[in-house]
A and B are shown apart, each in its own frame.
Chain A
Amino acid sequence: MTDTASQRYIPNRLHSRAHRTIRSWEALLLAVAIAIFIVNSFASPYFLNAWNLSDATFNFTEKAMIAFAMAMLIIAGEIDLSVASIIALASTAMGLALQYGAGTPELVVIGLTVGLLCGAFNAVFVTVLGLPSIVVTIGTMSLFRGISYIILGDDAFRGYPASFSWFGQGYIYWVFTVEMLLFVIIAVVYGVVLHKTNFGRAVYAIGNNPTGALFSGIRVQRVKFILFLLTGLMSGVAAVCLTSRLGSTRPSIATGMELEVVTMVVLGGVNILGGSGSIPGVVIAAFVMGLVTFGLGLLNVPGIVMSIFIGLLLIGVIALPRLWTMAVRRRKA
């Protein structure tokens, strides 16, 4: 990003063994994903069906779009818990604009803009005022959704134009949905930005040692500001997709989604304390979560049991590498 940053090589991690653990994490996750896929194919006769699998992707595409931005934010040592509420506010703004005759392009612009503004709002409190992001975004989590409740109350906005439904219900070709395409594009963009640019290096540097990064000439607050903007923007994209898919807006839209997004990021191998993680890991985690919920859904496993299963999966996948190294160390001793 800056000249000083580009001259200096800032490694992901200082220890190469830790680096290996991260690498094997993605391998492990991929194995889990494949195992779940195989188990699902045997467990339900309806699993291996192109249309059904296509339907199943809706379980994770919108959440994953936010998860990519969230992953970068968490790697930089910050978090945004207001993403689901940003969706609610962006969706409400689109609904409001609809009442004044906005067409599809305007609706999309408004959704994205509101997302950006919400991200900027969070960013100002965190980077300018120096408040902890977890506190700020717990506050804005109530604030943004609260505004939606004030505007909508018990009511709903409906009657979105048919062309608007393309984003959440449209197909590019055969079973490939518009949301899938967006998911792939966003994944590639974030993968390149995080792993191939100076900006991405700066994100890792800030997460590992903000003070060190600052003294290395990285504009820490500006990078964080941009990361909050990106998270807001992605929430705006998700708001467009979700609103389009539901065809209506209620203030309760996307309730609780922030925790699922964070779960996806952590399952993807991102260190919740910042400093490490990768976009491919988050991509695989998105598939793992989508496959698990869809597979269990096909078996009519109640949602409560499903949450338990996701929780166990999260703990299991995180604990396994740790247990593995402990076992290896014991054998060596």
Chain B
Amino acid sequence: MSVFKKLIASAAVASAMFAGPAMAQDNVRIALVVKALGIGFFEAAAEGAEEAAAELGNVEIIYTGPTDTTAEGQIEVINSLIAQNVDAIAVSSNDTDALVPALQRAMQRGITVISWDSGVAPEGRQLHLNPSSNSLIGNMIIKLAADHLPDGGQVALLSATTTSTNQNIWMEEMNKVMGNYPGIEVVATVYGDDLADKSYREATGLMQSYPDLDAIIAPTSVGIVAAAQAVVDAGKVGQVNVTGLGLPSEMAGAIESGASQSFAIWNPIDLGYSATMLAYELSQNGVEAAPGAEIPMGRMGVLTLDDNNEGAMADPFVYDASNIEQFKSIF
């Protein structure tokens, strides 16, 4: 029997350890559920959520998620959040559909549910927060190039594949706003198929075909890195500026070498911050999530909802020499 006694004793110790962080009941508890723990992008989002909580004052952030990016794991997490009767759940989902039944149960029990980053089908959430929108991205990629070309110049696009939906929409949106950037001329569009070596060859080819090229815009994280390398290898740093959409961790070298002046992508800190603000507004201030609604989200301004109750947070965030050090270790 003494084995059992020891076991119960150690269990009691364990319970004493766990009893420590037992929750303060009067706080508003907002759960930030991510795809999986231990991913830099989401750790940064949690940082943003904590910032929002500090600003709001009486908010406790529960940052949680499964170990692997599975829907089943997220459902277990959501079940335990429902059991704790949290005030709001803000989820970046591993599966658009599989989370719906669990989240619907959460809503039935009076819990505010929103999705952010990676969305849930409309019936499983009150609103969805997109990091940005196609039109904002389309505008941003040309603006990034134009900002460094005050006297105008030649730019070329290095995209993924001819059938890549996202890239095609972004380039289409870019074409709509070209009128705002007089003097900027798009001389060519090439496709690197999101392969590093093909993107590299296409970028090299662009510089040979257009000796006066001023910038390469690559709205793909593979293409932008390859293009930056091609510019360095061609000895054209300072003449050809590579920009577009990329990841700070992969682009740090290009910013350092000067092959890229700046590039853009979503800012996970802002995303976590905004998601928390929105969850708070819906759960505490009686804000209704309905098409056309304008919901404040602190320093990030206002979220306007479309017909699917989705909204875009902001322009993609610009990364350059001033902030790359901070973000390159995050994602």
Binding site for B on A (CB under 8 A): 28, 31-32, 35-36, 38-39, 42-47, 49, 51-52, 55-56, 58-59, 156, 158, 165, 169, 242, 245-248, 250, 252-257, 293-294, 297-304, 306-307, 320, 324
- Verify A256–B97 contact, CB threshold 8 A: no
Does the CB pair B80–A298 fall under 8 Å?
Answer: yes
Contacts of B96 in A (CB 8 A): 156
Residues in chain B within 8 A of chain A (CB atoms): 3-4, 7-8, 11-12, 14-15, 18-19, 21-22, 36-38, 62, 64-68, 70-73, 75-77, 79-80, 82-85, 94-98, 100-101
Q: A156–B95 contact, CB under 8 A?
A: yes
Docked pose: A59 CA to B74 CA in angstroms: 11
CB distance from B79 to the nearest CB of A (A): 5
A248, B94: Cα distance in complex, Å? 13
Q: How far is the CA of A248 from the CA of B100 in the complex (A)?
A: 9
Q: B253 CB to closest chain A CB, in angstroms?
A: 31
Question: How far is A114 from B303 in the complex, measured between Cα atoms in Å?
Answer: 47
Instruction: Write the nearest CB–CB distance from B317 to chain A, whole angstroms.
Output: 27
With both chains docked as a complex, state the minimum distance between the C-beta of A98 and any C-beta of chain B, in angstroms.
13
What's the dominant secondary structure at chain A's contact region? helix
In Å, the complex CA distance between A105 and B65 comes to 35
A307 touches B67 (CB 8 A): yes
| Whole-angstrom CA separation of A293 from B65 in the bound complex | 13
B4 nearest in chain A by CB position: A31
- 23 residue pairs from A and B, CB less than 8 Å apart: A31-B8, A35-B8, A42-B19, A43-B19, A55-B79, A56-B80, A56-B83, A156-B95, A247-B97, A248-B98, A253-B72, A256-B70, A257-B72, A294-B83, A297-B76, A297-B83, A298-B83, A298-B84, A300-B84, A302-B64, A303-B77, A306-B67, A307-B67
Q: Which residues of B contact A324 (CB under 8 A)?
A: 3
Minimal Cβ-Cβ distance residue in B for A243: B98
CB-defined contacts of B66 to chain A, threshold 8 Å: 303
- Report the bound CA distance from A255 to B18 in whole Å: 30
Name B73's contact: one of A31, A46, A247, A303 (CB within 8 Å). Answer: A303
CA distance A194 to B21 in the complex (A): 45
Nearest CB on B from A332, distance (A): 16
What chain A residues lie within 8 Å of B3 (beta carbons)? 28, 320, 324
Contacts known (A165-B101, A298-B83); A31 close to B64, Cβ less than 8 A: no
Contact A39 B11 (CB under 8 A): yes
- Choose from B21, B68, B77, B101 the contact partner of A247 (Cβ within 8 Å): B101
- Inside 8 A of B36's CB, which chain A residues have their CB? 303
Whole-angstrom distance between the Cβ of B240 and the nearest chain A Cβ = 34
B7 close to A32 (CB less than 8 A): yes
User: Contacting A256 at CB < 8 Å: which of B38, B62, B68, B98?
Assistant: B68
Judging by beta carbons under 8 Å apart, are A297 and B101 in contact?
no
In the bound complex, what is the Cα–Cα distance between A99 and B14 (angstroms)?
50
Q: How far is the CB of B313 from chain A (nearest CB, A)?
A: 25
Question: In the assembly, what is the distance between CA of A304 and CA of B39, in Å?
Answer: 12
B82 near A55: Cβ-Cβ < 8 Å: yes
Chain B residue, CB-CB nearest to A244: B101
Give the residues in chain A near B70, CB-CB below 8 Å.
Answer: 252, 255-256
Which of B19, B71, B80 has a CB less than 8 Å from the CB of A253? B71
A-chain residues with CB within 8 Å of residue B62 when the two chains form the complex: 300
Q: Give complex CA distance A248, B97 in Å.
A: 6
Residue of B nearest to A160 (CB): B97
Chain B nearest CB from A255 CB (Å) reads 5
Least CB distance, A56 to chain B, in whole angstroms: 7
Do A39 and B12 touch (CB < 8 A)? yes
Which residues of the other chain, A, contact B95 by a CB distance below 8 angstroms? 156, 246, 248, 250, 252
Contact of A255 among B68, B77, B98 (CB under 8 A): B68
Indicate which residue in B4, B18, B75, B84 contacts A46 across the interface (CB closer than 8 Å): B84
User: Closest residue of chain A to B69, judged by CB?
Assistant: A252
Contacts of B98 in A (CB 8 A): 246-248, 250, 253
- Excluding A300-B64, A302-B37, 19 further A-B contacts by CB distance (< 8 Å) are A39-B12, A43-B15, A43-B18, A46-B84, A46-B85, A47-B83, A55-B82, A58-B79, A59-B76, A242-B72, A246-B101, A247-B100, A294-B83, A300-B80, A300-B84, A302-B64, A303-B64, A304-B37, A320-B7
The 10 closest A-B pairs by CB, nearest first: A297-B80, A248-B97, A303-B67, A52-B83, A246-B98, A39-B15, A35-B11, A43-B18, A55-B79, A158-B97
> What is the chain A residue whose CB lies nearest that of B105?
A55
Q: B21 to chain A: which residues have CB within 8 Å? A: 299
- A307: min CB distance to chain B, Å: 6
Complex CA gap A199/B247 in Å reads 59
Q: Cβ of B67: which chain A residues have Cβ within 8 Å of it?
A: 303-304, 306-307
Say which residue of B15, B72, B83 sits within 8 Å of A49 (CB atoms). B83
Distance, CA A43 to CA B72, complexed state (A): 25
> For the complex, what is the distance from the CA of A297 to the CA of B70, rounded to whole Å?
16
Minimum CB–CB distance for B220 against chain A, Å? 17
CA distance A148 to B231 in the complex (A): 42
Asked if A245 contacts B11 (CB within 8 A), the reply is no
Q: A156-B96, A303-B37 are in contact. Are A250 and B71 (CB under 8 A)?
A: yes
